[in-house]
Amino acid sequence: MSFYKSMSALTRDFLVIPLHFSKIWLSSAVGDNMVVIKSINEKVWNVNFSKNNGTFAFTEGWSKVVCDLSLSDGCILLFKQVNPYNYILTPFFKETPYPLCDPGISLFLSISSLPNRNYIESFCHVFNDQSVNTLLLPTFVVKNTIGVGKLRRPMKVHLNSWDSLDVSVEKDSDSKCYFFTNGWNNIVQHLGVRTQNLVVLRYIFDYNFQLTLFDVNGYEVVIPRLALKFNSDPGFPSSTPLVNNVDDFHRDDDIKSELDPEVDVLIEPSDADESVGGSSDSDLSVDDDFDDDDFEDSTSESDDDKKDPDYQPLEFEWEYHPRHFRLNSKVASLARVDVSGKMTVQNLAGVDTVITFRPEVHGGGFRYVANAWRTKFTKPNGINAPHRCTFVYSPDEDKLILKKVSK
């Protein structure tokens, strides 16, 4: 899960984690600890993790993150939790206003996750009335990341692991700006997006975006599976909203809005008393173009497994395949392969190899397949048919570890 915070004078020396996020996702965390914060451009910091009266915050060491990334007031900071002590940070900077567009539009652009600074894949909007029917896209992203030539066909906007809706990108002749147009209102209506919600969009690969929605408290909204009914234009489905009040979806009446600056005051004690290449149900996927022979076997979680004290939900078995190795959605999500495009894999001797992954169209979404898997991993390690490999993903080490090889 993720949360976001806006930079201000109150977040320069420490950053308070949204209260609702702390209640749900940090219930087992221990304060006075260290956390690892890794930005999408591969910079890493160790920051003190403090807890006071139920309030968690990044404290000592946080100011170095602010300095190293040149964060300024108004920046939006998106944190993806790997585990309670590991976070991936995506900073967004306010875009220079587009002269011929509505000045009320709040558009933010992320830093690049790749050495090539011309490739920026993420942007976000603070939703307002101008965002209901059309959504402004950064010109830089359209021209350098997507490519103007790809605008001839609809884009898919993925809402979760199962569902995507089509939307057109068009250039406005007056403002010379690019917008999501046909189909965007369907997304807004389905999600019930409201003013001040944060809408984050990331261009994953050709013609595909991932949308993440945040409520006014900075908490990621879990988007349920769609119950679609198609209108007369099959290219642009409509749907009955399943979440009408997304800003209340994760919100308790007794939790103060994180937009209140007083929430950013750190309370001192004295102040208060599956498996690789599985089915489309488990894989993040976009069109089912693959033959059955391309799939590895899935490893299901039985009740007996869950009663086993050695049961490891992030462990899976892979039967040697000469052509490919695919990650299951659980591991891909935790490792944030969709952001970094790579993962560290450790062999039986404890030697690490960095493997890059590419997204692959599949079913209703996408999945990730290793590049040069045979050349970089199986062949150097003497793995071939009929070997079966058991892997386990370690969130603490952020690597995929080869546990055993059997025949």
| Domain final residue, candidates 70, 94, 118 | 94
Residue 35 lies in a domain: yes
Quick one: 110 and 233 in the same domain? Answer: yes
Q: With the CA atoms of 77, 81, 86 and 89 taken in that order, what torsion angle do they form, in degrees rounded to the nearest 10? A: -20
Query: Per the domain annotation, does 278 fall within a domain?
Result: no
Whether residue 280 is contained in a domain is answered as: no
Are residue 82 and residue 107 in the same domain, yes or no? no
Does position 86 have pLDDT exceeding 50, yes or no?
A: yes
Q: Are residues 7 and 139 in the same domain?
A: no
Say how far apart CA 26 and CA 22 lie, in whole Å.
5
Instruction: Give me the torsion for CA of 174, 180, 186, 188, rounded to 10°.
Output: -100
Structure pTM? Answer: 0.63
Co-location of 61 and 114 in the same domain: no
Q: How much is the average pLDDT of 354-369?
A: 79
Judged against a pLDDT cut of 70, whether residue 306 lies above it is answered with no
pLDDT value of position 28: 81
pLDDT at position 161 is: 67
Let me know whether 41 and 107 are in one domain: no
Of 254, 280, 305, the last residue of a domain is 254
Residue 46 is assigned to a structural domain of this protein:
yes
Q: Residue 313 has what pLDDT?
A: 54
Mean pLDDT of 14-36: 87
Query: Is residue 303 pLDDT above 50, yes or no?
Result: no
Domain end residue (candidates: 54, 71, 94):
94
In this structure, are residues 221 and 246 in contact, taking their beta carbons and an 8 Å threshold?
A: yes
Per residue in 112-146, is it b (16+ CB within 10 Å) or e — as a string? bbeeeeeebbbbbbbbeebbeebbbbbeebbebbb
* Same-domain pairing of 248 and 306: no
**194 in any annotated domain:** yes
Residue 103 CA neighbour count, 13 Å, CB half? 1
Helical spans, DSSP H, in 180-247: 184-191
Tens digits of per-residue pLDDT, 191-214? 889 889 999 999 887 888 889 999
Q: Are 396 and 86 in contact (CB under 8 A)?
A: yes
Are residues 316 and 237 part of one domain? no
Q: What is the CATH number of the domain that holds 349?
A: 2.40.330.10
* Mean pLDDT, residues 158-175: 84
Amino acid at 260: D
Residue 287 lies in a domain: no
Closest CA to 321 of 388, 225, 391: 388
pLDDT per residue over 321-330, tens digit each?
888 898 877 7
Check whether 116 has a pLDDT greater than 80.
Answer: no
CA distance 86 to 69: 18
* 314 contacts: CB under 8 Å, gap ≥ 6: 330, 331, 334, 392, 393, 394, 395
Instruction: Identify whether 283 is part of a domain.
Output: no
Domain that holds residue 296: 292-406
**Residues 244, 218 share a domain:** yes
Euclidean distance between CA atoms 2 and 78, whole angstroms: 7
Statement to judge: residues 112 and 189 lie in one domain: yes
In terms of domains, do 114 and 248 share one?
Answer: yes
Give yes or no: residues 299 and 324 share one domain: yes
Same domain, 214 and 140: yes
Total domains present in the chain? 3
- Would residue 358 count as lying in a domain? yes
Tens of pLDDT, residue by residue over 90-108, are 999 988 767 666 667 888 9
- Tell me what the mean pLDDT of segment 164-189 comes to: 90
